[in-house]
Amino acid sequence: MMISQLIAIAKKDIQDALRTRTIFIMTGFLLVASMVSIAVTHTAMGGRLPSDYSVLEAMRGFVEHLEIIGSALAILLGYRSAANERGHNTLALVMTRPIRQRVFLAGKVFASVVLICGCLTVVFVSISVEIMVLTGVGLSTLEVAKLAIGFASTGLYMTAFFLLGFLFALHLKHLSHALLTAFSIWLVFVLIAPQIGDTLDPDNQAVGGLFSQLSVPHAQEVEIMNKLGTYEVIRTGIEQLSPSKHFERLTFALWGIKGSYIGMPLSELLSAKIIDILWLLGYVLGLGGVLFKRQVNFTGD
């Protein structure tokens, strides 16, 4: 009974999203940004052959677009999911039926996870084809596996932001305030926290990298950075707050964008990045916990 209710709610929500074309517009925007990014990065690399670099290295800009645009779109998806019911006053109507709040919410979350996965499937398949066309080389089984893990990580990351937008749109009195409050939080955690961490990094104070310019080997660089003590603790602490940074560290390692992970066995790589995976899971579970714990006011505005 509960499963069939959940599926009915999810099905209706997916139909609504497809009818309003929101998901098509969102997917189209992310797809254009991603494809442009990969083409530009490949061009900037001088169209080198893949023997010179990891085939997936051209995905750096793509990761950053997923961080910024992907999360913004997920917030809009969460907003849409709640606003759709609140705007038509169907929230109160649904609750007159014998349905539990958690089943209703689970149906909504399930629908949006399906939509996010659909959107990401289109984007990931398109960019994989683009990379193969640009480099003229097919993807190996390991690279496909790495792309699949990256896909799952992106899904997790976007689900966290979907939950943020959904929570606010469900609970705040005014819908427009909900969208803007969610965007303010997005601004702080996706753009400002990484920006502060990045601009405070001494290595970023010189074009091409301070340590490279001073010909300092990596081991010595680590030693010097460790000597900075509190400064470095605060800087990395600010970065740790950002889900984008965890998503970035995980995908950069997976796709060989960060050179030190190229050639590392997948199991070893995943255990090295377990903290970032746990942080992403923590955001989803934390926000999900709040969503299912809080009583929704079904009487509307």
Partner 1 sequence: MFASRYIMTAALRANLRDQTVLLIAGLFIVLVLISAYLGWSATATVQDVYLKVVEAYAAKGQIAPPNPVPDTPPLGLLRNMATYVALIGALAGLVLGNKTVSGDRKSGVYALLASRPITSSGIALGKILAIIIAITGLLGVAALTNVITFMILPNFSLSADEWFRLAQFYIASDLYVISFGLLGAFFAITSRSEAKSLMIPVTIWLTVTFIIPQLTANVLPMAALNPLKAMAPAPSGAFFVFTQSVLTPISFAEAYRALAATLLDFAPPGFKFQSFISPMLTLMIVNGLLISAVVVAFGKMDASRSAYDD
297 interacts with partner 1 by CB under 8 A: no
Give the sign of the dihedral formed by CA 213, CA 62, CA 57, CA 149.
positive
What are the distances in angstroms from CA 33 to CA 38, 62, 70, 123, 129? 9, 8, 10, 10, 15
79 interacts with partner 1 by CB under 8 A: yes
d(CA 227, CA 5): 58
d(CA 59, CA 282): 26
Q: Which residues of 51-74 are buried (b: 16+ CB within 10 A; e: fewer)?
A: eebbbbbbbbbbbbbbbebbbbbb
Q: Contact letters (x/-) for partner 1, 33-52, by CB under 8 A?
A: x--xx--xx-xx-x------
Closer CB to partner 1, 114 or 191, in the complex: 191
Segment contacting partner 1 by CB under 8 A, of 2-10, 123-131, 216-224, 262-270 = 216-224
222 interacts with partner 1 by CB under 8 A: no
The token duo for 127 is 């960019």
The token duo for 262 is 């190229």
Closer CB to partner 1, 97 or 227, in the complex: 227
71-87 vs 22-44: helix crossing angle, rounded to 10:
170
Q: Contact letters (x/-) for partner 1, 170-189, by CB under 8 A?
A: -----xxx-xxx-xx--xx-
C-beta separation of 127 from 59 below 8 A: yes
Q: Contact letters (x/-) for partner 1, 120-159, by CB under 8 A?
A: ----------------------------------------
72 interacts with partner 1 by CB under 8 A: yes
69 interacts with partner 1 by CB under 8 A: yes
d(CA 59, CA 115): 23
Closer CB to partner 1, 197 or 288, in the complex: 197
Q: Which residues of 12-33 are buried (b: 16+ CB within 10 A; e: fewer)?
A: bbbebbeeeebbeebbeebeeb
What are the distances in angstroms from CA 207 to CA 193, 196, 203, 224? 21, 17, 9, 19
Closer CB to partner 1, 46 or 263, in the complex: 46
Segment contacting partner 1 by CB under 8 A, of 62-70, 93-101, 118-126, 289-297 = 62-70
53 interacts with partner 1 by CB under 8 A: no
The token duo for 247 is 């998503």
Least distance to partner 1, CB of residue 4, Å: 30
Closer CB to partner 1, 140 or 199, in the complex: 199
Q: Minimal CA–CA distance to 236: which of 203, 194, 187, 186?
A: 194
Segment contacting partner 1 by CB under 8 A, of 6-14, 66-74, 145-153, 261-269 = 66-74
Q: Which residues bind partner 1 (CB under 8 A)?
A: 29, 33, 36-37, 40-41, 43-44, 46, 60-61, 64-65, 67-69, 72, 76, 79-80, 83, 87, 175-177, 179-181, 183-184, 187-188, 191-192, 194-196, 198-200, 202, 204-207, 210, 213-216, 220, 224, 227-228, 231, 248
